[in-house]
A and B are shown apart, each in its own frame.
Chain A
Amino acid sequence: MLRSAQLQYLLKESFAGFHRRKLTTGVTILIMGSSLLVLAVLTLATLNLALALERARTGIDIRVFLQEGLTQTARADLQPRLVSIPGVSGVTYISPEMALHEFSGTLGQDADLLEMLDGNPLPPSYHLQLTVEARNLDTVRAIRDEVAGWAEVEEIVFHQDWIDALERWTFRFQLASMIVGLIVFVAAVFVISNTVKLTMAASARVIQIQKLVGATNAFIRTPFLAEGALQGFLAGSLAMGLLAVAGVLLEGRLGGVVFFAPGQIAGFIGFCVLLGLIGSWSAMRKYLTLRSDL
């Protein structure tokens, strides 16, 4: 167990690198913070896209237009068949009159145009509501393929292109975020590793003496790990801070954009601390041998 004098020493040494190399450490935090800001922006964009996709999916539905001249019985028979399709949670019948009323609502001031029509040209239809799990392109297409073969059905409509594009872009963004995340990860580890190497090189004599008098590797490495973790913490906080400032400045122009929740901010900074620890660890490998270079 560590004595209080040892704890005091380790705490002091953890900040010693910052104190002795203010410029290098400052530049490191700045570079790492900027890289992490890019990652944070991409993560935020992916998060918002995912939310948009989720919102869009709640609006995914299928409209099944029926042949004209169907008897009321034939039409009523369709309802249980539609409900029994996997993925369909509910079915609503839309009569031609209801459809016309709905359509006139979408025309707004131009609704008068409908008066020029001889009759109601809109066919009856069923509006299919989908379960949450079924709100994806593959299931929607499967439902369409099944219903399309029925004799009573004239046409099936859903917002295929829109869903398709949204899913495609979300996937691309996630992929880009992952690639950028990987690059940022490697870059951050490299930058922190180099800074800690500088600290270790400057502390070579201290490390050598520590080894000679029997200090354990754990004792020797603690201040350097703490330094890396602290750099990661500051760089992560800087990135989050800059993002928050940007959010405030652009407020109003970014309608509906969701910012990170406190838990997500803590998670992001925790990830940056982990980056710092990995960077320090990789810097220390060669110093962790038993050799003291007598």
Chain B
Amino acid sequence: MFSRDPAASGPLEERSVIGFRHVDLVYSDQTALADVSFTVTNGEFLCITGPSGAGKSSVLRLIAMDAFPTKGEVIVRGQLASRMNRRKVPRLRREIGFVFQDFRLLEDRDVFDNVAFAQLVVGIKSNQITKNVMRVLTQVGLWNKRHRLPRELSGGEQQRVAIARAMVNSPKILLADEPTGNLDPETAQEIIGLLFRINDAGTCVIFSTHDHGIVRTFGERVIVVRDGKLVSDEKRRGAVDRKATITDHMYRAPAPGRQEKVHA
């Protein structure tokens, strides 16, 4: 499923959706990442962990093309992101969903509009937007709260709205930066369960966390970064009982985002 040192073996595997080759990232004088190499294949569920400031978010930023490597190469869905024409970045970003610790919802718009916004800006037809938003909100169990404003929802519900927004454009990759950071353990488990369901439906999920408990319980493949360096890359397939994580009620609807092709 993954190679510990892909750079040593030449071209990246065909199945890989993300590849890092000897990547350095330097902000001003500060080195955020140093010589990081790894690949992620289709359908993987990857957990990136490490202490605060270790470089977890920097890895996600590079995948999101929100930053570009100072040295080395980053490949996203077969495209060399580090040397990509910057005008092409928005289109490639449409294949990536984002979820954040602080949810980042638009406070003055209701749940429906928050999710619909992601479709609107990429030019989906109005009637299709309604169908897609209805689908993902049903899947995250929030269709009945579609007219609520974010402040009228609990933290877990807000994160589910954020996940619905991330998945409404049917991305191939879902990046989640500390998605459980602001949630209590029970809600955190619920969100991880939702991420598992998304992954089960075929979306590659990469999430960062500094919570050891979450890593121990849910980490199937765990990359540890410390001081900007990748210190371990461990696959623990079979170590996690997904069904125990995904509670029964969460199976009632299909996983978000993978039922229809929604890109215009």
Contacts and interface: CB of A to CB of B under 8 A. Distances in A.
Counting chain B CB atoms within 10 Å of each CB, which of A211, A212, A291 scores highest? A212
Nearest to B65: A290
A213 B169 contact: yes
Interface string B60-99: 1100111100000000000000000010011111100010
Nearest to A292: B66
Given A5-B124, A210-B121, A294-B98, 19 more contacts: A3-B264, A4-B126, A5-B120, A6-B121, A206-B106, A208-B104, A209-B106, A209-B118, A212-B64, A213-B117, A213-B165, A214-B91, A214-B121, A215-B121, A215-B122, A216-B90, A219-B121, A292-B66, A294-B177
A118 to B, nearest CB: 95
A293 B66 contact: yes
B180 interface: no
Contacts, number: 72
Given A5-B126, A205-B106, A208-B104, A213 B66 contact: no
A4 B92 CA distance: 24
Contact of A9 (B66, B120, B177): B120
B57 interface: yes
Nearest to A206: B106
A3 B121 CA distance: 10
Contacts of A292: 64, 66
A219 B117 CA distance: 13
A263 to B, nearest CB: 39
B12 interface: no
Q: Nearest 10 A-B pairs (CB), nearest first?
A: A214-B94, A215-B121, A214-B93, A213-B118, A5-B126, A214-B90, A212-B98, A294-B66, A216-B90, A294-B61
A2 interface: yes
A3 B66 contact: no
Interface string B237-263: 000000000000000000000000000
B106 A294 contact: no
A215 B117 CA distance: 10
Given A5-B129, A214-B90, A214-B91, A294 B121 contact: no
Interface string A207-235: 01111111111010000000000000000
Contact of A209 (B65, B89, B117, B177): B117
Interface in B108-153: 117-118, 120-126, 129
Given A206-B106, A294-B98, A5 B90 contact: no
Contact of B104 (A209, A217, A291): A209
Contacts of B264: 3
